[in-house]
Amino acid sequence: MNLVTVSGPPSVGKTSVILKTIESIKNRGLKVGVVKFDCLYTDDDILYEKAGIEVRKGLSGGLCPDHYFVSNIEEVVDWGIKHGFDLLISESAGLCNRCSPYINGINAVCVIDNLSGIGTPKKIGPMLKSADIVVITKGDIVSQAEREVFASRVHSVNPKAVILHVNGLTGQGSFELSTLLFSEDDHITSLKGKTLRFSMPSALCSYCLGETRIGESYQMGNVRKIDLGKEQ
């Protein structure tokens, strides 16, 4: 089975892109499954089911979604293998722009959209910078120049990635993406011994543990302070 991790900020069109891409993959006679990771709520699983794709969802609730992802991905892979998928796609939202659920040796796709502003590629951390493939969506509604500028900004932060434009509504570009997501050479039988490409954000302060009160005396563990400049 091949595993592909897809991530990107909320509402960029990850699910639409994956759905369109799976259509092309299915035409090649491959069996595809999806696992959707989210934080509080998602009904994207219904969209996958409607398209006849086997899907599971995981909600992290009060936990950091990517910590939740990495603690569960091994079981998810075992589930996928048991179901005889040729390709398993994990979809997760990079909620803090810092996380990346990418695993060394596993194809990693980051989805971002043209509307997010040209400063965005700089703002997104490893999720964009360490992806193998960057998919840019919503190119049909901005000018050619803005698409070119945006792609060049993406290129400047991740020169190694293949950058593709995909339209999640019409599916333009999704066939092309599908050709990059499955290879006979990329089969895995488990994730044992694999490592994350990038460490998750460090945490564990008192607020991670349920503290709600504000004030220095309640802050323990890993705490960092904002620099507001020196006052006279």
Per CB under 8 A, residues contacting another protein are 24, 27, 114-115, 117-118, 139-146, 148-149, 151-155, 161-163, 170, 172-173, 175-176, 179
- Whichever of 24 and 72 has its CB closer to another protein, that residue is 24
The arrangement of strands across the sheet holding 32-38 comes to 54-59, 32-38, 87-93, 2-8, 107-113, 133-137, 162-165
> What residues form DSSP beta bridges with 135?
111, 164
Q: Minimum distance from CB of 100 to another protein (Å)?
A: 20
| Distance set, CA 196 to CA 26, 102, 128, 185, 186 (Å) | 29, 6, 14, 20, 17
- Whichever of 90 and 167 has its CB closer to another protein, that residue is 167
> Among 162, 122, 112, 141, which Cα is nearest to 11's?
112
Q: Minimum distance from CB of 121 to another protein (Å)?
A: 11
Q: Minimum distance from CB of 182 to another protein (Å)?
A: 14
In terms of Cβ atoms closer than 10 Å to its own Cβ (0-12, 13-18, 19+), residue 176 is middle
- Whichever of 145 and 214 has its CB closer to another protein, that residue is 145
- Whichever of 176 and 186 has its CB closer to another protein, that residue is 176
Q: Minimum distance from CB of 20 to another protein (Å)?
A: 12
Q: Minimum distance from CB of 115 to another protein (Å)?
A: 6
- Whichever of 46 and 141 has its CB closer to another protein, that residue is 141
- Whichever of 169 and 203 has its CB closer to another protein, that residue is 169
Q: Minimum distance from CB of 23 to another protein (Å)?
A: 10
**In degrees, to the nearest 5, what angle opens at C-alpha 24 toward C-alphas 55 and 131?**
70
In terms of Cβ atoms closer than 10 Å to its own Cβ (0-12, 13-18, 19+), residue 205 is middle
Structure tokens at 133: 């493939």
Both ends of the chain: CA-CA distance in Å? 63
